[in-house]
Amino acid sequence: MKDWEALFVEKLEQTDLGNDPAHDLAHFSRVVATAKALAAEEGARLEVVVPAAWLHDLVNVPKNDPRRSQASRLSAEEALRFLRSAEYPEAFLADIAHAIEAHSFSAGIEPRTLEAKVVQDADRLDGLGAIGIARCFAVGGLLGVRFYDPRDPFAKQRSWNDRENAIDHFYVKLFKTAESLQTSAGRREGARRAEFMRQYLDRLALEIGGRMA
């Protein structure tokens, strides 16, 4: 019997994932682990969830690339080619492709199946909490944005702008993804992670203001 997950990992190791530490092999491993946990709570089919989670970002399109919204569709197409070549059961392929396409925030595709909801939630949860904070600053560094606006860190007299300030991304996107989670288990975990991020921002406000708790 094939060890499918080993095959998926091997595929990723042979794929150019770019230089974004927020989308390296460790990201895929975390998304898979979270997706399995959500699937167990929600009763989703692992035959769909596991390959979709491993292959969800198979085609690397940088965040500042104008083709970014097409990344999940391109990943789904490449995943299907790979799965068919590996003779993965055909009965699951359409649902795997949909789960991959629907996971992306920028694609704006509504997940139609429980498995697609699980994969979308697992990927979005990786942008929240402690790992979400690390990813946010890592990507900000790649894009050349500063940590925060030193004149107005928390946008009291300006609009949020995550093209210039990393912490603005918490408000432009990340807290919104916490509110967009599809499954009950995902929403519970998302609320916990979002609360941790708010605690972090409270602490950051103290430190950049020259105060100590």
Average pLDDT, rounded, for the chain: 92
**Contact (Cβ atoms closer than 8 angstroms) between residue 46 and residue 53:** no
Whole-number pLDDT of residue 65? 58
H helix count then E strand count, the chain: 10, 0
* Listed range (13-22, 39-48, 62-71, 122-131) with the worst mean pLDDT: 62-71
- Please give the backbone phi and psi of residue 181, each rounded to the nearest 5 degrees, phi first: -65, 145
Whole-number pLDDT of residue 76? 93
Taking the C-alpha atoms of residue 70 and residue 48, their distance in angstroms, rounded to an integer, is: 21
Residue 48 has pLDDT above 70, yes or no: yes
Residue 203 has pLDDT above 70, yes or no: yes
Domain boundaries, the chain: 1-109, 127-213
Residue 150 has pLDDT above 90, yes or no: yes
Taking the C-alpha atoms of residue 170 and residue 172, their distance in angstroms, rounded to an integer, is: 6
Whole-number pLDDT of residue 62? 64
User: Considering the domain 1-109 in this protein, what is its CATH number?
Assistant: 1.10.472
User: Considering the domain 127-213 in this protein, what is its CATH number?
Assistant: 1.10.3210.50
Q: How far is CA 132 from CA 66, 158, 175, in A?
A: 23, 24, 11
pTM: 0.91
Instruction: Return the residue matching tokens 């709570």.
Output: 41
Q: What is the Cβ-side half-sphere exposure of residue 197, based on CA atoms within 13 angstroms?
A: 30
Whole-number pLDDT of residue 189? 98
**Neighbouring residues of 135: CB distance < 8 A, sequence distance ≥ 6:** 21, 22, 27, 126, 127
Taking the C-alpha atoms of residue 118 and residue 122, their distance in angstroms, rounded to an integer, is: 6
Taking the C-alpha atoms of residue 67 and residue 85, their distance in angstroms, rounded to an integer, is: 26
Q: How far is CA 55 from CA 7, 11, 146, 176, in A?
A: 11, 9, 31, 24
- The SS3 assignment for 146 reads strand
Instruction: Return the residue matching tokens 């429980």.
Output: 114
